[in-house]
Structure 1
Amino acid sequence: MTNRIVLSSDHVDSHGDVMTKAALESVAKIINGDRKVRCTVDHKRDLPSWGKLINARVEEIDGHYYLTAEQIEYDIYEDVDWNKDLIKASCSHNEQPFNDPDFDIPASLELSADPQNFRNYSEFRNYFNFIKSSDVDIKTQEFGRKALINDPEVVLRIAEYYFIYKLLKPTIDKTTKKISDKISDNLTEDTVKLYDFIKKSIKKFMLKAIPKNRPINYVIKLPGNPEIELFANITDAEKLIGALKPSKLKKVRDEIDQISENVLFEKIQFTLTEKGKWKFNFLQTDKGETIGRKTSFKKRDHLLELVKKKEKNKHNNA
């Protein structure tokens, strides 16, 4: 099932931003690439995709420019024979992979944040200045979302020389030196510095981010093919630090091992539970398929229905 929609325009949007014609054309080029932009529910990173964007174009209507594209919805849902709690979603007439797996391994740590999560751009810059003043080698980058509510979110890309990278990647990345299975929770100096940085970056972000009094999303990305993503929705930095103990990460590595014996994937995500344990959420294949927990798909569908109702009410009241 396909549906053409307006994604953006050169009008002032709800966040006060304006897209130029050139910017709209640049986005259209990305959508029309060999790898497809995945359809998400209000930019929720921890929910499975429900389809892809294709055939984008910039149209001029009454003197204004609009970026439109077709949405392809997943139309095949199948049980997974190697795990009864999982389901596979795919498009019957499109097997192009997604463009969001992060294959480029950074030379240093990289932290990204959304200016919309701060009261003004000055506070956003102050947060980045705080990050750069830390005693780890790190770069900063901003990203933007056009959600109804932009959840407070920070993304940290990990360089391959850190212990956490070496621990999780070797089972599926043959170029990474394998770490012994005999690991303990005694951390190296570099890892202590990294975890201290993560803790400080969380506390500072929670102090400055808006909306206030909401849990924040702290996303740890281990780039490469495949990419590993650890997603934590937290109100306490210590909860995430506790979940990054080597003994807990080894359980993630073991589960990745088991999953990779049954399916090839380009990206895999684990989410942090209330009990401070990592739980497999979903993965994406090189055919643009998504395999994830049935509970994750149900959560996606529920939120998608709520978003559609809000958009319908907004349209009816306009």
Structure 2
Amino acid sequence: MRKAQMMASTHLDRHNQRMTKESLEGAANQMNESSALGMTIEHDLTLPFFGKITKAYIEQLPDGEYGLFGESILFDRENSQEITLPTGQKVIIDTWPNEKPFLIKKDQIPSSIQVSFDLNNFNSNEDLKIFQDEVPEEVSFDSKIIVRKSFIPDPQLIINLSESAIQLLIAQKLLTTVGKKITDDINNDIANLYSTLRTVAIKYAKLCIPKNRPITYIFVISKTPVIEFVIQTENPAIIAEATKKMSDHLDEAEQLHKLFNSQKTQFLFMEHGTWEFNYLLTNSGKVVGSQDAISRREKAIEVYLEQNE
């Protein structure tokens, strides 16, 4: 099913922010040439895309401002298939007639652990400065701030792991899988890494808004494919336990890449304390999702449609 809609404009938005015509043109060019924009519900990055925008154009609006319009293709259940992975897990593959790969954010691996956030999740510039001042000095801040259009979106913190942090995860994997001995210095570095990630999470939870809402922490490994480890919790204390288990799934991400030629693979930390495969995006524009991920997407679509009747 194809559908056209306005995605953005040069109007001043509810956060007193404005996109330029040039930025709209840049987004349109990217979607028209090489990539498709994935469609999800309420900025929830744990839900597999339910559609893709494959063609975009700029039009002048009646008030003289400019709008970015996109033609989207929604997934068709008839084009979905269920398969069983070598691990025994059942997954659903969604396909579209257009095989453009999805537009994903892939940064270069930073020299230090780098965090990104939405300014709207801080009550004031003073709270933002306190957060920046209190995190460990080995953490840097991404100048490209996240922008989401909800009035006060649920808190979200993206933590892009550095090359040294990734190497420590690999060292941890070797220690747990083959019993390879590592030096005391590396053991200390691994412990410091997990301590740093836990500290960042706790400091953010203390200062972000809205309160009493789950916080989404996204730990990113910007390699090929991009690997995301996502935790949604109101208790940042579990970050230490969760991050120590991330290294156990690096081989799984590699196996999935070999099976599907993936662009991005995401794992979700579950309530019972384990990481599980959530979904991946392929270089041929497909979505491969766990049964749980697809079920949550279906429920989110149902709720959204009920609320917007």
- 2:45 & 2:11 partners in 1: Cα distance? 26
Deviation at 1:129, TM superposition (A): 3.5
- 1:53 & 1:238 partners in 2: Cα distance? 38
Aligned-CA RMSD value = 2.7
1:175-186 counterparts in 2 under 5 A? 181-182=178-179
Residue in 1 that maps onto 2:260:
263
Residue in 2 that maps onto 1:66:
67
Residue in 1 that maps onto 2:47:
47
% identity of equivalent residues: 26
Q: Which of the numbers 114, 118, 128 marks the counterpart of 2:122?
A: 118
Residue in 2 that maps onto 1:106:
110
SS of the residue corresponding to residue 240 of structure 2 reads: helix
- 1:206 & 1:277 partners in 2: Cα distance? 22
2:285 maps to 1:285: no
- 1:199 & 1:21 partners in 2: Cα distance? 40
Q: Pick the structure with more helix per residue.
A: 2
CA contact (8 A) 2:57 2:68 kept: yes
Change in Cα spacing, 1:232 to 1:84, as seen in structure 2 (3 Å) is: closer
Deviation at 1:268, TM superposition (A): 0.8
Residue in 2 that maps onto 1:231:
230
- 2:267 & 2:115 partners in 1: Cα distance? 19
SS of the residue corresponding to residue 188 of structure 1 reads: helix
Residue in 2 that maps onto 1:89:
94
CA contact (8 A) 1:108 1:139 kept: no
Residue in 2 that maps onto 1:135:
137
Moved over 4 A (4+): 163-166, 183-187
SS of the residue corresponding to residue 52 of structure 1 reads: strand
CA contact (8 A) 1:128 1:140 kept: no
Q: TM-score, normalised by structure 1?
A: 0.84
Gap regions ≥5 residues in structure 2: none
CA contact (8 A) 1:267 1:284 kept: yes
Residue in 1 that maps onto 2:4:
4
Deviation at 1:58, TM superposition (A): 1.4
Residue in 2 that maps onto 1:241:
240
1:196-235 counterparts in 2 under 5 A? 196-235=195-234
Q: TM-score, normalised by structure 2?
A: 0.87
Deviations 1:167-198 (A, max 9, x none): 2999xxxxxxx777215898623222222221
SS of the residue corresponding to residue 58 of structure 2 reads: strand
SS of the residue corresponding to residue 11 of structure 2 reads: coil
Deviation at 1:52, TM superposition (A): 1.2
CA contact (8 A) 2:256 2:262 kept: no
